[in-house]
A and B are shown apart, each in its own frame.
Chain A
């Protein structure tokens, strides 16, 4: 089938206005929030599960590759269409909340629904959807499912996988199957759990059953400023050791503090080594008690300043620096390479010191803005692409990821492997480990038609492209 007849065949499924094939129209779809770029062959924007199934079936018959796409906010290249003439399936028209069940605290939604819109839709019932990736104003539930997205509040409440009860999935041959569903512990393998985090390589989610939580009665947010990184790290451990798992526990280092004060000042002392944000939530009595404990730990470790807020407006002020940090890094260097390694939280300090060594050895400033509570680091290697530094910045990043793995950690906590980290997979996994993962893909998608070139290192081929750095392709107010 030639391109023109393929376009008309797709138009017959989704309608003329929802098939894009002119080069100008395809530009929008060539990248996500990483800088990997590749133009898809054709983009289709189906309106229903049935249309997705028909598009997938058509591609199956013709032997074409498919890449699902949500809002394109991913940070690892997951929505970038590799391969020749790949059809990109954008799910953004499928954004309905199909069912809200307040008694059973769950909802059924379409994959293109924006994360925050779900919480907005259910907040009038006193419920919310817990996973809150930083891009939650734009990112979609389908994308969250693909990447098993996290967010600052997953420390206490878990990531996307802990909140998805079932998924309707279109498989490679266009067949539609429900994995999981409304009831718990259905007989058979936990296909839902295996599917979530599949980075779009296993199938296309067309309906998602999610768990909702009752909104907490009270929330208290602390901002603690420390002169020494050692003390801030000790506070992280101290809070956990006190038997508290806060809703969020975030940290920023001195370089990030200075960047924030350069860009949009929020009153951080620029000589402080670390800022800690701690949020506790729950019943009023719970928050009161845990709050006291958090304050005590921070003070006993010599916090220079300790502020707290109980209402939403003040809370926003305390979070403002943290949320603006990534954008603020632009005032220091034009590009950054953003990492997502995770280490056991007790080894945070040690790994941060390794990051400092990498900074010295490789000659790039590295800022740290991260989810300290679960050991999820986000070192940002700052560089200037115009000076041809990209390649060396990637080397520095590689050294950091290696340090994470050596400290008993992993390559990515919430951004996914995608294109970006696939070459690093052998740092963590043996060929046998990877083969065991490939079996899952072989069961779900034996033809490897979905999202080719992602997750797995390209084994024997020597032309493995180097990971590409994430530049300031992010919007200025983005935060991770």
Chain B
């Protein structure tokens, strides 16, 4: 470890907070930091940021590290700031349906705590056992249940951050309704740690439904599955996701289209048993009317096994390093069209494509990986594919964000895409909150 860095931080952080060992384990897209520090409290976080910004160092805040591959390669990286040790669950107020916790608490821990009171945290992020609250908010990734609950932006009611200079501030509160001052929670959520470091958040909770079931329809085509999905939107499902045969094969046989069929549509029904039963029969009829070859109903236990697997599709860390995952967002009515465009743009045989489409909110993920023994897409082929996807997605009103690809492939492409609307304003925001570019420089849109 360079001694100059130690000099900078020893005065401010407890030396035992400085992580030892091979620093490459804290790399972001292959860029290793020069030091890694995991403070045990907010004062420690402030100290690190104050020292780093005073010395012109670049800092990457890290939670569970499950989604560090998001974003462009860091322009600079000196300090990895670990938040995992800020792991206090500060308050669960069951009667208020709210919870307040530090950033390093995992989503799974929060879920199990609030579940004891028959409640749930309405954020079904991928890999909840390793994903921290702070990380989940910073990336604002959502799962299928956002259809009912919204995203982190709808769930967060208050936030505490430490800014680039080490100043701790808060916004919002611990109550479910609040318009006191600007809603900075919205600004920090999804900002990928480029504006401030989230150290604490208050969130709204939801009561656990009395009954949960999932209807799974197998369809001969993606078009049929998407049409069926649009038909059942009015029944207020909690989640509604379509998978193609390849993605479906990863769902432990719970929703896997058999040979010859192209899509499975899963619709999660929750609420009072009588209401669930009625929805279920409506859905069965609708599916059959839309050419479903079969409709199966998963009861509570199986249904509960299915959805976490759906949420994790494409995110498991064991996946090939050659994986490419691209996220699209379109109007629900154009999901089928988008899926078709993605399939058409997809390259040679030997590379597998899996499609996961949350039809109700129009978010679609496509993942490519080498098929058994087949050649991987090289970085040049990836860049060409992404360009082709963008060419086809733009007329459908969609972006194409590269969520995951080998670090080397990022040299040849901007993962967020060009021409982001409002980029000037976003740059001005970055300039206001982090003028020195201390926080995650280069990783966000437009090189922010």
Contact = CB atoms under 8 A, between A and B. Distances in A.
A206 interface: no
B275 A432 contact: no
Interface string B398-436: 110100000000000000110011111110110111000
Given A429-B181, A432-B169, A190 B189 contact: yes
B361 A184 contact: yes
A409 interface: yes
B331 A161 contact: no
Contact of A346 (B93, B170, B275): B93
Contact of B422 (A179, A417, A429): A179
A455 B175 contact: no
Nearest to B272: A289
B353 interface: no
Contacts of B208: 243
Contact of B329 (A184, A196, A346, A429): A184
A319 interface: no
Q: Which of A244, A284, A344, A435 has the most CB of B within 10 A?
A: A344
Contacts, number: 252
Nearest to A409: B175
Interface in A136-171: 147-148, 150, 154, 158-159, 161-162, 171
A455 B401 contact: no
Given A289-B275, A346-B95, A158 B178 contact: no
Contact of B236 (A186, A241, A282): A282
B182 A437 contact: yes
A179 B362 CA distance: 18
Contacts of A428: 173, 180-181
Contacts of A413: 175, 177-179
B90 to A, nearest CB: 12
A461 interface: no
B34 interface: no
A179 B425 CA distance: 10
B428 A285 contact: no
A194 interface: yes
B431 to A, nearest CB: 7
Size category of the binding interface on chain B: 35 or more
B164 to A, nearest CB: 11
Contacts of B327: 185
B371 interface: no
A298 interface: no
Contacts of B40: none
Contacts of A105: 233
Interface residues of A, number: 87
B207 A282 contact: no
A436 interface: yes
A12 interface: no
A376 to B, nearest CB: 5
A183 interface: yes
Contact of B190 (A189, A288, A455): A189
A421 to B, nearest CB: 8
A397 interface: no
Interface string A169-181: 0010000011101
A465 interface: no
B230 A443 contact: no
Contacts of B150: 158, 162
Contact of A375 (B168, B175, B182, B196): B175
A186 B329 contact: yes
A430 interface: yes
Given A190-B153, A374-B177, A103 B333 contact: yes
A342 B175 contact: yes
Given A282-B236, A285-B272, A193 B187 contact: yes
B175 A244 contact: no
Contact of B182 (A104, A183, A440): A440
Nearest to A374: B177
A412 B425 contact: no
B259 interface: no
Given A188-B422, A285-B275, A442-B432, A159 B177 contact: yes
Interface in A10-36: none
Given A105-B233, A187-B445, A188-B416, A193 B177 contact: no
B210 A417 contact: no
B278 interface: yes
B118 interface: yes
B329 A409 contact: no
Given A105-B233, A240-B97, A289 B274 contact: yes
A158 B154 contact: yes
B444 to A, nearest CB: 8
Nearest to B117: A241
A241 B421 contact: no
Contact of A241 (B95, B272, B330): B95
Given A179-B422, A282-B236, A416 B179 contact: yes
Interface in A277-306: 282-286, 288-290
B182 A194 contact: yes
Interface in B148-169: 150-151, 153-154, 161, 163, 167-169
A425 interface: yes
A184 B362 contact: yes
B275 A286 contact: yes
A154 B150 CA distance: 14
B432 A440 contact: yes
B302 interface: no
Nearest to A416: B179
Interface string B94-119: 11111000000000000000000010
A162 B154 contact: yes
A412 B180 CA distance: 5
A237 B177 CA distance: 17
A283 B426 contact: no
Contacts of A117: none
A444 B97 CA distance: 34
Contacts of B151: 185
Contacts of B95: 237, 240-241, 344-346
A182 B332 CA distance: 10
A87 to B, nearest CB: 23
Q: Which of B94, B179, B330, B425 has the most CB of A within 10 A?
A: B179
B130 interface: no
A344 B98 CA distance: 9
A190 to B, nearest CB: 5
A191 B361 CA distance: 19
Given A243-B118, A283-B279, A189 B187 contact: yes
B174 interface: yes
A197 interface: yes
A207 interface: no
B183 A197 contact: yes
A369 B279 CA distance: 37
Contacts of A148: 179, 183
Interface string A255-290: 000000000000000000000000000111110111
A189 B170 contact: no
B96 A188 contact: no
A90 interface: no
B18 interface: no
B366 to A, nearest CB: 15
A186 B426 CA distance: 13
Nearest to A375: B175
Closest 10 CB pairs of A and B: A193-B186, A243-B207, A285-B275, A285-B274, A183-B329, A346-B95, A289-B272, A439-B432, A443-B428, A413-B177
21 contacts: A104-B331, A104-B362, A183-B331, A183-B398, A184-B361, A188-B421, A189-B190, A191-B422, A194-B182, A197-B182, A245-B207, A283-B235, A283-B236, A283-B278, A290-B272, A342-B175, A376-B177, A413-B177, A428-B173, A428-B180, A437-B182
Given A103-B333, A241-B95, A410-B175, 15 more contacts: A150-B179, A177-B424, A179-B421, A190-B189, A191-B425, A194-B187, A244-B207, A283-B271, A285-B274, A286-B275, A417-B180, A429-B180, A430-B169, A433-B181, A440-B429
